[in-house]
Amino acid sequence: MKISFDLDDTLILTENDAIYENPVKMIKSLLYKEKLRKGIRNLCEELKSLGYDICVYTTSDRSAGYIKGLFSIYGIKLSNIINQRVHKDLVQGSRKEIMPSKVPSKFGIDLHIDDDISVKQNGLQFGFNVLIISKHDRDWAVKVLNEAKRIKKLKSYDT
């Protein structure tokens, strides 16, 4: 199973009162201006033990190499990175009609986490699972984990 996370305002917060995860690679973290949200490391460990591979799905132009490096500071190994370029190539392609900003199901993703309500609306329309998390939510990791458990249970009924 796969879970994907949005970056801006979901895992990468910019508010003054944002709380950040402690890096496991201190020196390497000095090379990166951006930091990940507090709770991501434990959450990813729990998700992995549930059987989820961790992915990033962002509409930003950050390179896959940069994103991979940023997560490695926290000891998180990503199984897939979808940035704007990958999304454009695979989802929009040469289609004339405007496609949604994200279509996680195209990449075999079972659950996507985002702060943007329009992604949830697209999920209802196009048939993929989205959990909306506010950037101010201190209990965000518990909510992600509970939803991941719920989706896993649903999928196990499927097969």
Query: Is the C-alpha dihedral spanning 49, 52, 53, 59 positive or negative?
Result: negative
Task: Give the residues lining the site for Mg ion (CB under 5 A).
Answer: 6, 8-9, 115
Q: How many CA atoms lie within 13 A of 132 on its CB side?
A: 11
Min dist. Cβ of residue 71 to Mg ion (A): 16
Rounded Cα–Cα distance for residues 2 and 136 (Å)? 25
Whole-number Å distance between alpha carbons of 92 and 90: 6
- Residue 6 or 110: the one with the smaller Cβ distance to Mg ion is 6
Structure tokens at 37: 């949200």
| Cβ proximity to Mg ion, 85 vs 149, nearer residue | 85
Q: Which of 15, 158 has the CB closer to Mg ion?
A: 15
Q: How far is the CB of 135 from Mg ion (least distance, A)?
A: 8
The CA distance from 26 to 144, in Å, is 27
Q: Which CB atom, from 21 or from 115, has the smaller least distance to Mg ion?
A: 115
Q: Shortest gap between Cβ of 69 and Mg ion (angstroms)?
A: 20
- Closest separation between CB of residue 10 and Mg ion, Å? 5
